[in-house]
Chains A and B, each alone.
Chain A
């Protein structure tokens, strides 16, 4: 009996060690980017887990059918931008050759380029080619006079509004925040709904919204020479207005300070509970779904501005870059070129609503026929506003969120909050 026990233990031990060894060596087996049996190179590309309508997968299959020498594989990542950032950074900082093509948010360019994780693409993505793309999206892939990525998905954060309600009460879309607040107060009282629904929780979305208010009042985080200007009188005024929208004008619910995702503010809007919702481009297709309470009742405009300021819609979007640890940059470039081509962007816009980055597709007759809203939607792209570019953007954003949030929740005055933020930004190397 005893010896049987011991045999069992030894057996378990062997199984255990075997498991550990195989777990450790697992990585070597599927080291990728190497040549497959038929001499084809495998390229790994980061994509979102969420693939509405299977459009990305369909594109991947088309690509693989057309190419004998390259096999494309997807590396699915979180749909939450901050989590995707952390996942991507883990791969890149480890120098992994498992990720050839990086899928990059517009605000990561400086950070990734500065860290040496990307190949500069100036020679491949020539100025000639760049001129075919939406200029703002091209700006977002530049850092230190070099080009680091190719714009792929084009997103904007404009104002979505209830066209039926404005019409009912005889209003045009207002130009300034002051006018908008008055209209909101009026309709709010008549209809028993909320004027604005905002995502002002402690997250990146707060920076998106704050940047718009800041730019709308001619303020900015930094001036042209890189000096901190975030506590300028214009900036303080803009933040004060955000606070007043909640406490004084009561057109934003104080609970907005807990809305940390775009969805938190989008849901009441789609349910017909709000008049204005500054939000990302995806709102429209959800509002047009059959179960939506506001089908055919919403439309888009640029965000408001302050008297003497400028309209500002935050730029978002996703860009493809090549990892500096990739073993096959040429093949990776082939993949990027194919994905961002007019043909593929057109296909994915018509079938899946992916707003591409090439100018040409927005004047294409087939596209306009399939998605008539695009023609007008693209007008709001003229009022684009870009969040600050900084090699330590994630840190900058987190610090800014903290200070601005304290002003919104009433713990600090806007002046105190922005003075504190300015001081910390000055110490940011």
Chain B
């Protein structure tokens, strides 16, 4: 009786925080998206214009192409990360001398600030003085320097590579924790049945870490699309708009064009698209767990 209201009282600070930093901005953004709201236009500020912003966006080639660019960026990053993380997690889960050092090392890229990592990779990808072209040349793999960041054929690949390097450790960490939940007895009985290592991996390990993979993919996808630092620093969205993901375009519309209406609509569409993506991940996960 004495503590009847205590739980609610304890929740107040958290809820206040959530309302102030999540709920209010979210609602405000949605309201903006139905308004003509440009800071540089004092005459018509916050006029209700219905769906005009949304219509304008779907007629904007740049926005459509930025959505496609985002999907390529996410797909490339996530596939690269998944392959790398599965391998490194498996290695880090074996017992061998120096394992803790190995584990600490693979986490390092995750500990580096995105801006710093991006700047370092920008130097390495530099066409004339960059170390990557230098190494490729000394190995005799290329004759002419590859313009990594300044040609639209290579820029996307370069930023994906950087993002994979930067974000894989997060996925690795989650998968390692998944691997550690698997009971040794399962492998022992598989041994008795004479299962090959590959069969053990495919039939025991993979199904059991699937929920961890799905969760890891949600995190890394959000990280990939929301952290614009890497692209902002390395290419600024260029060449032209070849690496302009929609979050970067969204940032520009808000803070450079000062168009809160259009920016709001863009954010609403963006969140919806990401929401669908995450729904697909988790639905896929549940389905496969049921079978």
Contact = CB atoms under 8 A, between A and B. Distances in A.
Interface of A: 6, 9-10, 13, 16-17, 20, 82, 85-86, 89, 93, 111, 114-116, 201-203, 253-255, 257-258, 260, 391-392, 394-395, 398, 401-403, 405-406, 408-412
B10 A201 contact: no
Contact of B236 (A85, A116, A260, A412): A260
B104 interface: no
Given A17-B13, A20-B17, A86-B255, A255 B147 contact: yes
A114 B40 CA distance: 6
Given A89-B255, A402-B241, 13 more contacts: A111-B258, A115-B40, A202-B235, A202-B239, A255-B147, A255-B150, A258-B126, A392-B257, A395-B259, A398-B257, A401-B238, A408-B239, A409-B152
Contacts of A403: 240
A258 B257 contact: no
Given A82-B256, A115-B40, A202-B235, A411 B240 contact: yes
A285 to B, nearest CB: 25
A253 B257 contact: no
B112 to A, nearest CB: 21
A401 B122 CA distance: 20
8 contacts: A6-B6, A255-B150, A257-B150, A258-B147, A392-B257, A405-B238, A406-B240, A412-B240
B3 interface: yes
A242 to B, nearest CB: 14
A86 B237 CA distance: 18
B252 interface: yes
Given A9-B10, A17-B13, A93-B39, A395 B239 contact: no
Interface string B252-291: 1001111100000000000000000000000000000000
B209 to A, nearest CB: 36
Interface string B2-32: 0100100110110011000000000000000
Interface residues of B, number: 36
Nearest to B155: A409
Nearest to A391: B40
A111 B259 CA distance: 13
A212 B62 CA distance: 27
A394 B152 CA distance: 24
Given A257-B150, A391-B40, A411 B239 contact: yes
A409 B39 contact: no
Given A20-B16, A406-B240, A115 B42 contact: yes
B13 A115 contact: no
A257 B256 contact: no
Nearest to B10: A13
Contacts of B152: 406, 409, 411
A193 to B, nearest CB: 12
Contacts of B151: 409-410
Nearest to B258: A89
A111 B41 CA distance: 9
Nearest to A409: B239
CB-based closest 6 A-B pairs:
A406-B240, A409-B239, A202-B238, A255-B127, A257-B150, A202-B236
Chain A interface helix/strand/loop/mixed: helix
A5 B179 CA distance: 35
Nearest to B6: A6
Nearest to A200: B150
Interface of B: 3, 6, 9-10, 12-13, 16-17, 39-42, 62, 122, 126-128, 147, 149-152, 235-242, 252, 255-259
Contacts of B235: 202, 258
Given A258-B126, A258-B149, A201 B13 contact: no
B27 to A, nearest CB: 19
B16 A406 contact: no
Contacts of A409: 150-152, 238-240
B238 A392 contact: no
A111 B240 CA distance: 24
A257 B40 contact: no
B12 A17 contact: yes
B168 to A, nearest CB: 25
A12 to B, nearest CB: 9
Contacts of B149: 258
Contact of A405 (B12, B42, B240): B240
A114 B45 CA distance: 13
A201 B16 contact: no
User: Which has the most chain A C-beta neighbours within 10 Å: B3, B10, B13, B41?
Assistant: B13
A201 B236 contact: yes
A396 to B, nearest CB: 10
B238 A402 contact: yes
A401 B3 CA distance: 63
A391 B240 CA distance: 23
A406 B239 contact: yes
Nearest to A9: B10
A201 to B, nearest CB: 7
A10 B9 CA distance: 9
B257 A114 contact: no
Nearest to B257: A395
B239 A114 contact: no
Contacts of B241: 402, 406
Contacts of A255: 126-128, 147, 150
B258 A402 contact: no
Contacts of A408: 239
B40 A111 contact: yes
A222 B65 CA distance: 28
A6 B2 CA distance: 12
Given A13-B10, A93-B39, A258-B149, A253 B128 contact: yes
A220 to B, nearest CB: 23
A395 B252 CA distance: 8
